[in-house]
Amino acid sequence: MRPSLVIHGAAGRMGRRILALAVEEQIFDVVGAVDHPGHPDAGKDAGTLAGVSPLGIKLGGEFPQKASVVIDFSLPQAAAKTAEWCEKCGAALVVGTTGLERAQMEILTAAAKKIAIVQAANMSLGMNLLFSIVGKVAAALGPEYDIEITEAHHRLKKDAPSGSALSLAKSICESTGRDYPGCLVHGRQGKDVPRQTGTIGMHAIRAGDIVGKHAVIYGTQGETITISHDAQSRDTFARGALRAAQWVLNQKPGLYSMQDVLGLK
């Protein structure tokens, strides 16, 4: 018997791809497709909306009675509702929603005392590899190398900088003793804005339908090193979320990351 899956944010771009791949790969039985109750597609078959065969499950604003695991790609303010429902029915949770604030992370941390939760700003294997090495590179190169982070996403992305760009910055700060987020400089403007030693430049680009591009630039006198990742399809993140959902089913209560899922810690 396959584990049952609920997708929160099922009407969004990521939610639809996760649902479609879950159906195609037959890893889970999709039992719920949840989104804002006022969504224009509410009441329509979730499978049809995702571009696969009809599932007999309608897109709606309420969670079903029970599920093994929930994958959440909704909105930051929905974190409390999702975590509360998962606690109530004992479901594991995978949170890929970005832009979570401290209060919302505190809700997840509290829920993780009772259920297993994977929370990550980025579900891509390649990006998680970057998270694990950019700090080590910064520490090895030393303070003589300036560091800049650039990220580019589609025009509809709401938060900036991206959660993944902030995760890159956190990794660098943890490895080099920089103050996070105090050392971040978000863009530059003006006639007298020279670079300050120890800062990390952060630059966000929003254009067209860019899926996701991230780069960390290390520069000093005489050379520049760039480590980058270019996501060419949302399937990269959707497959990562499904892999996390499979992994978290067998874990004890706690708050985990994709680094845990992929064994990179």
Q: β-pairing, 212-220 with 223-231?
A: antiparallel
DSSP 8-state symbol, 220:
E
153 is catalytic: yes
For residue 181, say if its preceding peptide bond is cis, omega within 30 degrees of 0: yes
For the purposes of burial, counting CB atoms within 10 Å of the CB of 30, is it exposed (0-12), middle (13-18) or buried (19 or more)? buried
The pair of structure tokens assigned to 15 is 């939610």
Catalytic residue among 153, 203, 214, 229: 153
User: 202 to each of 7, 129, 222, how far by Cα in Å?
Assistant: 32, 20, 22
Q: From the candidates 44, 81, 157, 170, which is the catalytic residue?
A: 157
Burial class, 194, CB count within 10 angstroms (exposed 0-12 / middle 13-18 / buried 19+): exposed
Is 157 among the catalytic positions? Answer: yes
Cα 33 to Cα 41: distance, rounded to the nearest angstrom: 11
Nearest to 7 by CA among 103, 132, 91: 91
Catalytic residues: 153, 157
